[in-house]
């Protein structure tokens, strides 16, 4: 075999005919973020596009520009901008957690709490209503007007008390009359009284009580009460009295006191206002006015 050395012309022709190899450059892929892009660009793998293949060029600049252009173009005036989600995903966790907490509070209230709230609210409203009724009824005190008193008997005789002590004894019988008016516009009253005492200084000579009665709303009646005392010892209390044969011959100053009590059931036993009217009268017994009604119009004080 014979080796032929290449001539300079052959070397030159081979060099000219074979293309010069260029260094391998990295390939960059450009992908449109949306398929319906308005500029009609498609994904390309071009080795001849210098801006894309150039190592100094920014790989994502073209993609970001086209994406932002299309995104801003899709917004209309007055439309709401979409909320950009955080990259780390913590925002979604916070929103979801907040929603779960609200749902927990909504679902976590037991039915007994609603029932308890209803009971408390009803009690408050009922108490307020009862207080209004009580306040409206309290000023409507009944009116009491003393009319007259008549003495049927006033006798002083010598005697002895239960222990045998000798003293003068009094027998007294009288009748008092007064009018009672219920001023209540929406309730009736049950009426009673304390003992009605007819006294000389601090010594009670006769007493009596009102027979209980019921007076309807805005109603009135004339009340008559009998007061009497039997064998009441004076123990020297009536030394200044003038008497003859046991009968009084001179006026005797007396005092009449009692309290009228009225109770109204406005709302059953829950609202029952009470009214107390105290009566005090200065009376003068006159021997010439036996069995004659004596006017008490200007002799009594009612509070």
Name the residue ranges covered by the structural domains of the chain: 22-73, 137-302
pLDDT at 75: 46
Most confident of 2-16, 83-97, 259-273: 259-273
* 0.85 surpassed by pTM: no
pLDDT at 72: 41
**In this predicted model, what pLDDT tens digit does every residue of 179-230 receive, in sequence order?**
999 999 999 999 999 999 999 988 999 999 999 999 999 999 999 999 999 9
The yes-or-no verdict on residue 105 having pLDDT over 60 is no
Most confident of 32-41, 103-112, 264-273: 264-273
Tokens of 185: 């516009």
**For residues 79 and 143, what is the distance between their CA atoms, to the nearest angstrom?**
79
Phi, psi values for residue 153, rounded to 5°: -160, 135
Name the band, by pLDDT with cuts 50, 70 and 90, for residue 1: very low
pLDDT at 276: 96
Name the band, by pLDDT with cuts 50, 70 and 90, for residue 69: very low
**CA 167, 168, 171, 174 torsion-angle sign:** negative
Name the band, by pLDDT with cuts 50, 70 and 90, for residue 23: low
The lowest-confidence range among 15-29, 129-143, 195-209, 262-276 is 15-29
Concatenating the DSSP letter of every residue in 129-191 gives HHHHHHHHHTT-PPEEEEEEEEEEEEEEEEEE-TT--EEEEEEEEEEEEEEEE---SS--EEE
The yes-or-no verdict on residue 48 having pLDDT over 50 is no
**For residues 281 and 295, what is the distance between their CA atoms, to the nearest angstrom?**
11
Name the band, by pLDDT with cuts 50, 70 and 90, for residue 287: very high
pLDDT at 188: 95
pLDDT at 24: 57
- Percent of the chain residues past pLDDT 70, beyond the cut: 64
Phi, psi values for residue 10, rounded to 5°: -70, -40
What is the distance, to the nearest Å, from the Cα of residue 287 to the centroid of all Cα atoms in its chain? 64
pLDDT at 99: 54
Closest CA to 30 of 62, 69, 67, 70: 62
pLDDT at 119: 86
Tokens of 182: 């219920």
Give all strands (DSSP E) within the chain, no chain letters: 143-160, 166-181, 189-193, 196-200, 203-208, 213-215, 220-233, 243-244, 247-248, 252-264, 274-285, 294-295, 300-302
The yes-or-no verdict on residue 128 having pLDDT over 80 is yes
Average of per-residue pLDDT values in the chain: 76
Mean pLDDT of 28-33: 52
CA atoms within 13 A on the CB side of 131: 6
Specify whether the CB–CB gap between 209 and 196 falls below 8 A. yes
Mean pLDDT of 136-142: 90
Beta bridge partners of 167: 159
């Amino acid at each position: 075999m014979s080796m032929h050395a290449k001539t300079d012309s052959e070397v030159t022709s081979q060099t000219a005919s074979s293309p010069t190899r260029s260094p391998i450059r990295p390939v960059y892929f450009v992908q449109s973020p949306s398929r319906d892009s308005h500029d009609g660009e498609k994904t390309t793998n071009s080795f001849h596009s210098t801006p894309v293949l150039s190592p100094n060029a920014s790989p994502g600049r073209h993609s970001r520009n086209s994406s932002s252009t299309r995104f801003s173009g899709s917004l209309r005036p007055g439309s709401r901008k979409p909320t950009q989600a955080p990259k780390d995903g913590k925002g979604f966790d916070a929103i979801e957690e907040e929603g779960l907490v609200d749902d927990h509070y909504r679902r976590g209230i037991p039915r007994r709490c609603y029932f308890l709230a209803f009971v408390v609210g009803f009690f408050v409203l009922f108490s307020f209503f009862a207080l209004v009724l009580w306040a409206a009824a309290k000023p409507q005190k009944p009116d009491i007007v003393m009319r007259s008193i008549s003495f049927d008997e006033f006798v002083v005789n010598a005697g002895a008390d239960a222990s045998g002590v000798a003293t003068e004894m009094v027998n007294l019988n009288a009748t008092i009359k007064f009018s009672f008016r219920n001023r209540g516009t929406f309730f009736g009253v049950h009426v009673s009284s304390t003992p009605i005492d007819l006294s000389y200084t601090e010594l009670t000579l006769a007493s009596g009580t009102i027979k209980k009665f019921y007076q309807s709303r805005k109603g009135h009646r004339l009340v008559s009460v009998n007061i009497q005392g039997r064998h009441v010892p004076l123990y020297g209390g009536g030394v200044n009295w003038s008497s003859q044969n046991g009968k009084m011959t001179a006026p005797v100053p007396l005092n009449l006191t009692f309290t009228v009590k009225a109770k109204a059931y406005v709302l059953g036993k829950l609202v029952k206002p009470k009214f107390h009217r105290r009566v005090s009268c200065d009376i003068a017994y006159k021997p010439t006015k036996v069995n004659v009604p004596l006017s008490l119009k200007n002799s009594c004080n009612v509070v």
